[in-house]
């Protein structure tokens, strides 16, 4: 997608915030526990390469991604650290992963059997066995299946049994009953393991923040690195997270709208009196949701309502008085002492801040400070 470098709309990424969030969490880890930074989905919208560079400086010793192409992007950028692809890739790409020293997630013995056919004799593929302890997404479901897979790996020099892991679905909840169920299933899996591989990991951001006794010897540090509370507002993070992302633009058009005139598609907003309206060069094609009509932005420290439907490329706001074209508008972040957080936007959209951050498209210019 074309990046909008010739318009005044931008995502501003505070690299020092990312550094601080990672370094603080790393300082809390027990000796011998590694931190792999999760940079999938373009670093949760923050920029995969830029985040990886900051994470490296902050002490991350590896990376986690969702798909093979993200791992290859890191390799092409010169990152030599371990990289784990968290999703199940098709076995036909096993040799690419092996050649690039990219670790594969495996959830069935059938995957291993098929991948064997594609692996060149000169390449050994590092694998992490995924265990489904209750997430219901990927992974071995029964200890007996795990035993069969480990036995298969012992007889195949094409593979390096590098890691084993699971993922908790309610580590970010005050109700820990289901979390404890998953712990029990994890322990049942581990009981059949004759020896442990190099990496044993169960902790995402939420698990490491609130259940650090489960960390194993590696954590997959995700959304917290970007300054976002994994639980939304349900639980309090044990240290201050610093949000790294803000979104700003400038007004491109200002007019006085007469009483009775309407704004945007469907004429869903009609002025009840003469009022000043500003137009902003951003819309739902940039990932700023159409459903944000009625929400607000910040202009000179004042909350201004979004009026009418958000268009594909533009949106309108009601102003308290006339402002000049070019006035800075904050959609996410701080403006003259007032703040709009990604959590505020997510709450209005009845979703989570992950979705909002990841939803900002590549058309938005990203500026790093």
Binding site per annotation, positions for substrate: 137, 312
Residue pair 262/308 in contact (Cβ under 8 Å)? The answer is: yes
Closest CA to 287 of 224, 353, 335: 353
DSSP secondary structure of 144-203: HHHHHHHHHHHT-TTEEEEEEE---SSTTSS--HHHHHHHHHHHHHHHT-SS--SEEE-B
The answer to whether 259 is a known catalytic residue is no
Alpha-carbon distances, residue 109 vs 33, 142, 149, 229 (angstroms): 29, 12, 5, 36
The answer to whether 40 is a known catalytic residue is yes
- From the candidates 40, 118, 269, 284, which is the catalytic residue? 40
Query: How many C-beta neighbours within 10 Å does residue 294 have?
Result: 12
- From the candidates 57, 259, 265, 369, which is the catalytic residue? 265
Beta-carbon contacts of 195 under 8 Å, excluding residues fewer than 6 positions away, are none
Residue pair 220/245 in contact (Cβ under 8 Å)? The answer is: no
Q: Where is the binding site, in residues? A: 137, 312
Going through 62-144 in order, the beta strands assigned E by DSSP cover 62-65, 83-85, 102-106, 125-130
What is the set of active-site residues? Answer: 40, 265
């Amino acid at each position: 997608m074309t990046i909008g470098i010739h318009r005044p709309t931008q995502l501003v990424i505070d690299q020092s915030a990312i550094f601080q969030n990672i370094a603080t969490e790393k300082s809390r880890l027990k000796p011998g526990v590694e931190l792999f930074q999760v940079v999938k989905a373009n670093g949760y919208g923050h920029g995969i390469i830029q985040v990886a560079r900051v994470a490296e400086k902050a002490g991350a010793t590896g990376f986690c991604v969702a798909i093979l192409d993200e791992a290859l992007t890191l390799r092409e950028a010169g990152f030599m650290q371990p990289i784990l692809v968290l999703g199940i890739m098709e076995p036909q790409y096993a040799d690419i992963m092996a050649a690039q020293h990219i670790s594969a997630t495996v959830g069935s013995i059938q995957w291993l059997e098929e991948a064997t056919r594609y692996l060149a004799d000169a390449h050994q593929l590092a694998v992490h066995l995924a265990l489904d302890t209750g997430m219901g997404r990927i992974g071995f479901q029964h200890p007996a299946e795990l035993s069969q897979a480990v036995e298969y790996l012992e007889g195949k020099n094409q593979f390096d049994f590098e890691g084993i892991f699971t993922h908790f679905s309610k580590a970010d909840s005050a109700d820990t009953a289901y979390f404890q169920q998953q712990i029990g299933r994890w322990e049942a899996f581990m009981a059949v393991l004759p020896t442990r591989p190099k990496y044993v990991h169960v902790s995402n951001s939420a698990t490491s923040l609130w259940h650090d006794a489960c960390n194993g010897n590696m954590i997959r540090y995700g959304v917290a690195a970007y300054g976002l509370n994994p639980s939304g507002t349900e639980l309090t993070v044990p240290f201050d997270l610093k949000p790294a992302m803000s979104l700003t633009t400038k007004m491109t058009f200002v007019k006085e709208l007469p009483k009775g005139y309407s704004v945007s598609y469907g004429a869903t907003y009609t002025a009840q009196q003469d009022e000043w309206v500003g137009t902003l060069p951003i819309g739902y094609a940039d990932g700023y949701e159409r459903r944000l009509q009625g929400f607000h932005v910040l202009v000179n420290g004042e909350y201004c309502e979004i009026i009418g439907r958000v268009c594909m490329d533009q949106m309108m706001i009601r102003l308290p008085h006339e402002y000049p074209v070019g006035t800075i508008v904050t959609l996410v972040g701080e403006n003259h002492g007032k703040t709009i957080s990604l959590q505020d936007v997510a709450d209005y959209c009845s979703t989570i801040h992950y979705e909002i951050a990841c939803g900002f498209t590549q058309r938005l210019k990203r500026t790093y400070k």
